């Protein structure tokens, strides 16, 4: 399998090259150049999660041996890292509606599903490419990716990792998870701006020729742990297949029957993995894209015009507070028939003017595969409260956005296809909002997030994940805050460059 840039300026390259580079030199994203079909997926039912992962990964990472992929998957998806024996269990809310819990990893968020295996991919890729340079992992995070990447790459030989997060754009739990991070090779910097500022800054750093030259002279090479890196995206395809197989095993789905997936998303990576699963043969009827008040993706799915020229809202689902959805670029490449010129033009328009409109043919394909709506903060809180009353199940704020949008979808379409809602974070991670929804405004007034976590546990019987216990008592190790135009200097300082 070969990979090339969505913008046409790089490729073809091997999977190992694409993973090590993270982002293409022309600013595009690496995409597979051949279609993948996994026709035998129903035969994987008896495999555990690591075994299913090997089956998916071997189709995309063809320059990795079976033994290497087994090593990566078995180490990543072990009981040492995940607190549930199924790794990503499926829970029934009601007949025909299921929740796929993706938050049983060390940081209690779905990013662990990819960021526990990427640190195994990267050193292997570097060795395959004959490189001896130290990899510098740069990450922009809206909350969850940062901690998951820090935890995954902590003290991994031959790597250093620097995470940028929006100073006022993450929850208190997310912030403390990052600024208390241990590890000799890790750095964390708050950016005075929103996530799009941090993400744009990291992309600019990747393509800065002067900085790349300085790194090369000092024995470093950039890579990424964001979902712009193919090695971060490809593991996410696995849990779509795994959820389907679990439902077949339970008798909830007939083999080959269609299913919908509802995906809360901001950067489009999580739902794009569902698109790749569909293209590989999983019988996905509809991918339902759930947005919060930063509903740029909803407008795009409905109209074919992507317009980031709108207010930016800080919401109760901060990991989705994004106006520039990087992974949409990959989808546009595929739906345009690999027209890298069109993709480069659209991305150029987005950068210069803040919007672009795709062709009628691409727009029609988007509407055939995807459906989208959004939920604001009021709807999010109401959905958390209603789901607890109706199902006895506690949702985090992002998953609640997904359920609210699914309810809108059912009302709008009448579609009764069995549906899986991707749950992207433990409710304990967003305890202030969840407690507010379940206990009421008066009960939460004047309480810290950690007081509220205790109250939430008493009220619902939730178990606090190990990674969140005693978080407020851990020493703060990272205090640096920079303006968005000082991110390059923060990289130089972190690496000890002149």
User: Known catalytic residues?
Assistant: 111
Q: Are 145 and 115 in contact (CB under 8 A)?
A: yes
Q: How far apart are CA 465 and CA 400, in angstroms?
A: 19
**Backbone phi, psi, residue 222, to 5°:** -75, 145
Question: Among positive and negative, which fits the CA dihedral 298, 303, 307, 309?
Answer: negative
Q: How far apart are CA 324 and CA 326, in angstroms?
A: 6
The CA–CA distances, whole Å, from 391 to 85, 88, 340 equal 23, 20, 46
Residue 419: strand, helix, or coil: strand
Q: How far apart are CA 251 and CA 117, in angstroms?
A: 30
**Backbone phi, psi, residue 239, to 5°:** -75, -15
Rg (CA), the chain: 21
Q: Which letter does DSSP use for residue 414 in this model? A: -
Q: How far apart are CA 197 and CA 68, in angstroms?
A: 37
CB count, 10 Å around CB of 454? 14
CB-based burial of residue 157 (10 Å sphere; 0-12 exposed, 13-18 middle, 19+ buried)? exposed
CB-based burial of residue 217 (10 Å sphere; 0-12 exposed, 13-18 middle, 19+ buried)? exposed
Q: How far apart are CA 382 and CA 438, in angstroms?
A: 9
Q: Does residue 338 have a cis peptide bond before it, meaning omega lies within 30 degrees of 0?
A: no
Q: Which letter does DSSP use for residue 109 in this model? A: B
Q: How far apart are CA 334 and CA 274, in angstroms?
A: 14
Lookup: tokens for 343: 């993709």
Lookup: tokens for 330: 């990959």
Q: How far apart are CA 431 and CA 179, in angstroms?
A: 19
In the block, residue with structure tokens 């800065």: 208
In the beta sheet, which residues pair with residue 91? Answer: 99
H or E stretch including 194? none
């Amino acid at each position: 399998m070969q990979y090339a840039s969505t913008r046409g300026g790089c490729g073809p390259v091997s999977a190992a090259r694409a993973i090590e580079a993270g982002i293409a030199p022309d600013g595009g994203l690496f995409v597979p150049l051949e279609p993948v079909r996994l026709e035998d997926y129903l035969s994987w039912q008896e495999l555990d999660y690591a075994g299913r992962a090997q089956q998916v990964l071997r189709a995309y990472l063809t320059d990795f041996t079976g033994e290497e992929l087994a090593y990566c998957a078995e180490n990543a998806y072990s009981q040492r890292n995940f607190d549930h024996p199924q790794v990503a269990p499926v829970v029934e809310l009601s007949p025909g509606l299921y929740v796929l819990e993706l938050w049983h990893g060390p940081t209690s968020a779905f990013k662990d599903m990819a960021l526990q295996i990427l640190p195994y991919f990267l050193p292997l890729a570097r060795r395959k490419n004959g490189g001896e340079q130290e990899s510098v992992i740069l990450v922009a995070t809206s909350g969850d990716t940062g901690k998951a990447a820090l935890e995954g790459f902590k003290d991994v030989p031959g790597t250093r990792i620097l995470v940028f997060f929006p100073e006022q754009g993450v929850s208190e739990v997310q912030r403390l998870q990052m600024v208390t991070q241990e590890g000799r090779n890790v750095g964390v910097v708050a950016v005075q701006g929103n996530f799009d500022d941090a993400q744009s800054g990291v992309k600019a750093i990747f393509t800065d020729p002067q900085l790349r030259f300085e790194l090369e002279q000092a024995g470093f090479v950039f890579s990424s742990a964001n979902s712009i890196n193919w090695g971060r995206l490809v593991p996410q395809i696995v849990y779509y297949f795994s959820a389907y197989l679990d439902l077949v095993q339970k008798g909830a789905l007939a083999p080959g029957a269609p299913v919908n997936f509802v995906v809360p998303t901001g950067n489009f990576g999580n739902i794009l993995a569902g698109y790749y699963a569909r293209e590989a043969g999983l019988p996905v009827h509809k991918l339902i894209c759930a947005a919060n008040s930063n509903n740029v993706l909803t407008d795009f799915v409905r109209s074919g015009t992507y317009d980031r020229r709108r207010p930016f809202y800080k919401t109760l689902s901060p990991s989705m507070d994004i106006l520039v959805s990087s992974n949409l670029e990959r989808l546009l490449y595929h739906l345009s028939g690999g027209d890298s010129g069109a993709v480069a033009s659209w991305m150029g328009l987005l950068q210069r003017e803040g919007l672009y409109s795709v062709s009628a043919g691409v727009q029609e394909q988007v509407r055939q595969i995807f459906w989208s709506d959004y939920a604001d903060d009021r709807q999010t809180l109401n959905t958390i409260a209603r789901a607890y009353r109706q199902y006895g199940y506690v949702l985090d704020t992002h998953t609640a956005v997904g359920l609210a949008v699914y309810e809108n979808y059912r009302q709008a379409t009448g579609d009764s296809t069995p549906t899986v809602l991707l749950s992207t974070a433990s409710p304990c991670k967003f305890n202030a909002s969840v407690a507010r929804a379940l206990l009421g405004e008066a009960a939460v007034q004047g309480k810290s997030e950690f007081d509220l976590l205790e109250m939430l546990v008493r009220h619902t019987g939730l178990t606090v994940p190990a990674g969140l216990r005693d978080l407020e008592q851990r020493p703060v190790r990272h205090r640096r805050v920079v303006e968005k135009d000082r991110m390059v200097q923060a990289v130089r300082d972190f690496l000890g460059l002149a």
